[in-house]
A and B are shown apart, each in its own frame.
Chain A
Amino acid sequence: MEAAIEKYLALKLGVPSVKVSHLLRIPGGASRETWMFKAVWNDEEERHAEEFVLRLDPPASLVESEREHEYAFYRAFEGHPEIPVPRMRWLETGPEHMGAPFFIMDRIPNCESSPRTILEPFWAEARPMLARRKYEILGRIARFDWRGSTIESVIAPPALDACWKRELDYWEDMIDRHEISPQPISRAAIRWLRANPPPPAERISVVHGDYRTGNFLYRTDGIHGIVDWEMAHLGDPLEDLAWSFMEAWEWARDGKKGGIIDVEDAIAAWEHTSGMTVDRDALRWWDVLMGVKGQALWLTGAHSFADGRSSELILAMTAYWLNNFQDEILLRSMGRSA
């Protein structure tokens, strides 16, 4: 893999050769292969040494999305430091260089991303600030004016009153195509969602699609990058809020959302920067849908593993652990737990 990256970078940088080292696959990803590496090269004037991250499409994953799509969302936030993202460098949509589509971005150094690390005692002092920042940034994403940005080239905005149905249809179809066994709890949730639709979205916003602890890069002084935009789209901003609140992300199992913040504090931070007020009934609708979405993702991963398209153990784990856990979450979301 080093050789392929070296050849590609030399081509893109217009230099005779590039030396790649410290190539490591970053653990945790269940949807894309993410690799980090160092690259050194000389041009006519000086020696360069930079760190990069490569995101490579795998044969199968939890998510079915286009690499070009994710790249466009990252690019849209260049020049908007209030929504920090890594700088994008190169995108390839064909298999000719690495065997699959990929993009390369700058690596933001010396950051953590693990949802468990932030729970360690070392982070106790910084944790409340990081938690508040997480939702302040999400509020800014909700308020971001995407019109005229790279996002418009890859996705069409839905109507205000169509956001809920588009998402519900999408995730129901995902379950239709990937369930290994019937899902009576998810199907009951879907019937409830269709019978009790939420009001139209207050505005059409950028929706990250996987906004949770684990998908931002942090140091003790703040959040330096929002990553993993592969499920990003335009829609109701309450969707991101509901997804970030999902019980599956309560890493400490203490009721704190994302393991780090009480729900009311999170909503207050989000409302402060988004300029919007959370409709609690609508948020509950999105909470149930996010339970269905979670199940659809776990079923997709389990299906990929079961049919042999992927041998990633994390996808087997979704089948043995997360499918039933997500059903338990759905029962609680619908007020149907014991």
Chain B
Amino acid sequence: MRPPIPHTLQVVAGTLATQVLPEARTPFGQQAVGLAAQLCVLISQEFDRAVARLVEENGAVVALFARATDVVPAGELRDRLAAAAATPVPGPDLRVSALQVVNDDLRRMLIDLHAAVEQLATPEARALDAAIWDELRASTQRRHLMQG
């Protein structure tokens, strides 16, 4: 078996920080080695969770779109929301790059939805606005990384 990738990157980070950094001769070199070590720590976390994060987030945004079809007036935006809400999430391709393309499309539409909802005064729109802010908060928690 191969060592798990997050573990391997953590070891690389430790090696850079404890064995290579002291050998760097210039302040700029020390900074570069330190940054490389920190990046390994961050990437190790992101590697392990990336698929779960994207699948969860894409599902959460699609659920908002389904709810929004009852709030947003008839028109081009509502049609787009309805189409997105009817698309299975996740799709068949679970590569991070494919999930990220879907995530980008959904979050671009979320911006449009948020701007539209801000202009509506109905109780349903206010509740949806609050739900969108909940999702934006959740999105930062999903992306949060711990520095080594």
Contacts and interface: CB of A to CB of B under 8 A. Distances in A.
Interface in A95-117: none
A177 to B, nearest CB: 16
Contacts of A336: 133, 136-137
Nearest to B27: A27
Given A181-B100, A182-B104, A184-B111, A313 B39 contact: yes
A65 interface: no
Given A324-B140, A331-B140, A336-B136, A184 B103 contact: no
Interface residues of B, number: 32
Residue of A26, A181, A313, A321 ringed by the most chain B CB atoms within 10 A: A313
Given A26-B27, A184-B110, A321 B147 contact: yes
A29 to B, nearest CB: 9
Contacts of A28: 31
A338 B139 CA distance: 12
Main secondary structure of the interface of B (DSSP, over half): helix
A188 interface: yes
A170 B73 CA distance: 33
Contacts of B114: 184, 187-188
B136 A331 contact: yes
Interface in B93-148: 100, 103-104, 107-108, 110-111, 114-115, 118, 133, 136-137, 139-140, 143-145, 147
A316 B145 CA distance: 14
B98 to A, nearest CB: 14
21 contacts: A24-B26, A24-B27, A25-B26, A27-B28, A27-B31, A27-B32, A181-B107, A182-B108, A184-B110, A187-B111, A313-B32, A314-B35, A316-B35, A320-B39, A320-B42, A321-B42, A323-B143, A324-B145, A327-B139, A331-B140, A336-B137
Interface of A: 24-28, 181-185, 187-188, 191, 313-314, 316-317, 320-321, 323-324, 327-328, 331, 336-338
Interface of B: 26-28, 30-32, 35-36, 38-39, 42-43, 46, 100, 103-104, 107-108, 110-111, 114-115, 118, 133, 136-137, 139-140, 143-145, 147
